[in-house]
Each structure stands twice: as structure tokens, then as C-alpha cells.
A and B are shown apart, each in its own frame.
Chain A
Amino acid sequence: MKLKSETLSNVLKLLLWVLVGLACADLVSSIVYTASLDAFTAYIYDFYGFIEIVSSVLYYIAAVVYLIWIYCVHLDMNTLFPSFARSPGKSLACILIPVYNLFGIPSIYRMIGRWYLEDTGGAKKEGRWICSLALPLLLFMMLSNGLGRMVNQADELSGTMLLILSFVTLILYMIFLILCLQVSRGLHIARLEVLSRQSTAVNADDFEASPAGQPTATHQL
């Protein structure tokens, strides 16, 4: 049994690590901007612009990969947990429908986390992480959007505002990264548990089928 989301999980992790790195660079630039505009203009301005362009484009690429990843994660969840109640299509609807996504986005992670907590033996820690990050994710997304709009509309760029925005963005990317790591790790553990259960069931069948009451493994090499 192969996880459909495995490759995309790895790709998304890579993109998110780079985004976190860029957000750190952005934060450092904002600190310099707040501390000294002259130093920022002399040493950071060009670098900052470059970072901004890479981050902006990468953000949209990561967003597309993220949507496909969420879809695949739900395909895997449905395969591993037949009673899992949310379809891949519905999970995308939870993210993409405006206003409804205020409830939808945290609910996606709460549901995945709850399933890890209740239906797995080894992914409980991941489940707890995911459940606890569901609400902060929404809060930081809203904060980041609101601050981003304020910064874009401001006639004069306030250093403090820019610094807060950079910090919030960094935290948001880190939450996304932790969620991606925990969800994919949980899926991996759940997959191993399902494989182990299947293997145990096969062994039990073999044991019951033995004519002399002795366990044999005639057709296994």
C-alpha cells in the first residue's frame, strides 16, 4: 500500500522550508528597516526586493501544491480509515469557499488530528499537534491577510507594521510546515499500522488453516 500524498508531502515540505527561510530573511530585513532606514537603503534594499519577489511567487506555487496535497491526504485518509467522514472534494471546498473556510480550514485539521488520536496507536502525538495548531493557523492566516492589506494601502510604510507583518508571516509558514510534517508523519504511522494489522490477519488465517494444529508457513518464502 503506497501513500498517494507521499511525494507531494515531500515536495510541500521542501517548499515550506524554503518559505520559512525566506520569511526569516524578510524578518531580518524588517528589523533593519525599523532600526535604520539609511542602513536598509544602503545594504538591504536590493536583497529585500529579491526576497520579496521569490517569496511572492513561491507562495502561490506552494498554495497550488498545498491544495493538491490536501486532496491526496484525504484520499489516503479515506483508504486508511474507511469510516473517515470527509471526502477529498469536500476538503477542498472547506478551504476554497469564502466565509465557510473560516470554519472549514480548522475543521480539516481537527478532523485529521482526531482520527490520529482515536484510530491509531502510534500517531497520537501527531494528532495532538495537529488539533492544537488548527485554530492558531486560522488566526495567523487572518492576521497576515489583514496586516498585508494595511501595509499595501498605507501611504507611508511604518517600520513597526512591517516588522509585525514579517513576524506573523514567519509564524504562519512555520505552522503550515509543522502541520505538513505532522500530517505526513501520522499518515506514515497509520499506514504501517494498517499493514501490520493486515499481516497479523493473514498470519492468523494461516494458523487456523494448519491441519496438524501447528503453525506453518508453507507458502511464504
Chain B
Amino acid sequence: MKLKEIPQMTNNESQKSYRHWIIGILLLLIPFTVAVYAYWPQYYSFTTTGEIVPMEEIDVNGSVNFVYVQEGVTRNRYEKYSVGLRDSEAEFTKVDSSAEDDLSAMLDFEEDRRNETIHYAVDSASEVISSPIEQDRRDERLQQLIEETSNYYGDSIGLMLGIGLVEEAMQEDFSQDGTIIIAGTGTLEEDHTVGSVGAIRDKLRTAEAAGTDIFFVPKDKETFMYPGLSNEQEAELASKELDLKLQLVPVATLEEAISYLRQLPNPYIRSVNQP
């Protein structure tokens, strides 16, 4: 009689039946470890280039442009990598975990500063053209501009908004029918002076990439009250280092910027028409 073989698992076979679980789990640990590493909290603040925006986009009938740059905080290596992938020239600075709260607090503050500079730009432009507008119309215009710029933070729009509003009121076209790209940055204060701003280097890179011909910066070599380089000095340094082609124009007041634009030769030829 043939005895039926009873399949019995030897020690060796038993080990083999667990082998695929061990290999599988070890292999699965690799991607999970990578993901945990990528998501481990590590904070960086970053700045990177943005775009130049025509005044028409915020419903101002002017030919000049303002510049915005992108700033933010990444919370882990994955976010840092994603930002770096989107913009290889983004600059990161390691910060602590409070940076995220600091950023949102700063955004609230910057929103107030933006509204304030818009307020000054509307008033300054009205005074420059010597044509005061009625209080109701002024308030309405102010509210409309605040709504139109609600996607942007910060007060560096002031100077360019002031120039745009002067163009609109005087029906002037400083861009000579779009042949000159004029952009710039700087706040506008109550006394029409142009105040210092941040991220000058990135703003210059943005403007250069957009083919800007003339770029206004605050003339603040004498008045800059923070540690480090003033906007004017930083812009001159960046212009040399980045070998920028745009014409850098430091201005102290809205009137100075308007005068500069009014005396531009027509036609304007880049690199020939240096002031």
C-alpha cells in the first residue's frame, strides 16, 4: 500500500513562508522613510522672482508697471524642493518654526501698509496735478484701488501707482506708445517722498526678465535707517553683479520721477538715452 504523503512544513519551509513578508516590509520601509524624511519639520523662508504688472490690470489708465516678488515659508524639505523645482533661483534662509506665524502677522501688517500707500498715492497724484478731487470721488477711487490690489501684499506699489494716476489724470503716456517698459518700486509717503522697500534684488531680476527699460528705486542712500545696504546701494550692487541691462533710476519724490519721465527723449533708445 502506498502511504499518502502528508505535507509537513519543515523549519526551512516555514522560514521561507515568512521570507516574502520580511522582504516586502523592508522594501516598504524605504519609501515611508523617504517620505518621513521629506516631511520632517524644517522651516525655510524664501524669496523668488514674480512679475511686472501693468497699471491697467488694477484699473488705472497708466502705462507704467509695478513689480511684485514672491515670498513665503516652506515647512519641510518637500515644500522646499517643490519651490526650488518651480524656480531654480529661489533663495532660501533657514528659520525657526515661528516663521509661519510671523509671515501671517507680517501679511496683515503689509495689507495695512499697502492701503496706506495707496491712500498717499491718490492724494499725492492729485496734488502733483494741482487738481483736487471731491472727497466722495476720492474715497470711491481709493476703495476701488484697494479692491483691485487685494491679491498683493506690501507697500512697494506706492510710487508706480502715483505715476500711473498722474498719467491717467493728465492723459499722458510715458511709455511712448508702449515702446518703453517702465517699472519700479518704492513706497509713497504723505509728503510725496519715496520710501525704502524689501527684496530689491528679486524685483530687479523680475524686471530684467520682463525686458524693463527704466526701473525706479528709492533714493535712500542718505535716509536709510536699517542695518545693511540701502535700496539704492543694493540696486547698484545687484545691477553690477547681475549685469543688468535696464536703466536704474533712483528717485526721492514722486515729482522727481515724473520730471525724469517727462524729459525722456522721443524716441527713447536704450543705452543711448542715459541720463
In the bound complex, what is the Cα–Cα distance between A60 and B24 (angstroms)? 14
Contact status of A53 and B35, CB under 8 A, knowing A61-B27, A61-B30: yes
Is there a chain A Cβ closer than 8 Å to B94's Cβ? no
Main secondary structure of the interface of A (DSSP, over half): helix
Q: Quick one: which of A195-221 are within 8 Å of B by CB?
A: 217, 220-221
Closest to B16 in A: A7
Is there a chain A Cβ closer than 8 Å to B31's Cβ? yes
Is there a chain A Cβ closer than 8 Å to B268's Cβ? no
Q: Are A54 and B32 interface neighbours, CB within 8 A?
A: yes
In the bound complex, what is the Cα–Cα distance between A55 and B79 (angstroms)? 17
In the bound complex, what is the Cα–Cα distance between A10 and B78 (angstroms)? 32
Which of B2, B28, B38 contacts A53 (CB under 8 A)? B38
Q: Are A53 and B31 interface neighbours, CB within 8 A?
A: yes
Is there a chain B Cβ closer than 8 Å to A111's Cβ? no
Contact status of A15 and B28, CB under 8 A, knowing A7-B19, A7-B23: yes
Q: Are B34 and A7 interface neighbours, CB within 8 A?
A: no
Q: Are A54 and B35 interface neighbours, CB within 8 A?
A: yes
Q: Are A18 and B28 interface neighbours, CB within 8 A?
A: yes
Q: Are B1 and A15 interface neighbours, CB within 8 A?
A: no
Is there a chain A Cβ closer than 8 Å to B225's Cβ? no
Interface size class of A (residues with CB under 8 A): 20 to 34
* A147 surroundings in chain B (CB, below 8 A): none
In the bound complex, what is the Cα–Cα distance between A50 and B30 (angstroms)? 13
Name, among A14, A65, A217, the residue most crowded by chain B CB atoms within 10 Å (CB to CB): A14
Which of A7, A11, A49, A65 contacts B78 (CB under 8 A)? A49
Closest chain-B Cβ to A35's Cβ sits at a distance in Å of 23
Name, among A7, A18, A53, A55, the residue most crowded by chain B CB atoms within 10 Å (CB to CB): A53
Q: Are B1 and A217 interface neighbours, CB within 8 A?
A: yes
Closest chain-B Cβ to A47's Cβ sits at a distance in Å of 10
Contact status of A50 and B35, CB under 8 A, knowing A7-B19, A217-B1, A217-B2: yes
Closest to B2 in A: A217
Closest chain-B Cβ to A9's Cβ sits at a distance in Å of 8
Q: Quick one: which of B40-78 are within 8 Å of A by CB?
A: 78
Which of B1, B20, B35 contacts A10 (CB under 8 A)? B20
Is there a chain B Cβ closer than 8 Å to A1's Cβ? no
* B23 surroundings in chain A (CB, below 8 A): 7, 11
In the bound complex, what is the Cα–Cα distance between A58 and B23 (angstroms)? 14
* B272 surroundings in chain A (CB, below 8 A): none
* A217 surroundings in chain B (CB, below 8 A): 1-2
Is there a chain A Cβ closer than 8 Å to B3's Cβ? yes
* A61 surroundings in chain B (CB, below 8 A): 27, 30-31
* B79 surroundings in chain A (CB, below 8 A): 49
Which of A15, A46, A220 contacts B3 (CB under 8 A)? A220
In the bound complex, what is the Cα–Cα distance between A164 and B35 (angstroms)? 25
Q: Which residues of A contact B (CB under 8 A)?
A: 7-8, 10-11, 14-15, 18, 46, 49-50, 53-58, 61, 65, 217, 220-221
Can you list 20 contacts pairing A with B, beta carbon distance less than 8 Å? Answer: A7-B16, A10-B20, A11-B23, A11-B27, A14-B20, A14-B24, A15-B27, A18-B28, A46-B39, A49-B39, A53-B34, A53-B39, A53-B78, A55-B31, A61-B27, A61-B30, A61-B31, A217-B1, A217-B2, A220-B3
Other contacts beyond A8-B20, A10-B20, A11-B20: 13, CB < 8 A? A7-B16, A7-B19, A11-B24, A14-B21, A14-B24, A15-B27, A15-B28, A53-B31, A53-B78, A65-B27, A217-B1, A217-B2, A220-B2
Q: Which residues of B contact A (CB under 8 A)?
A: 1-3, 16, 19-21, 23-24, 27-28, 30-32, 34-35, 38-39, 78-79
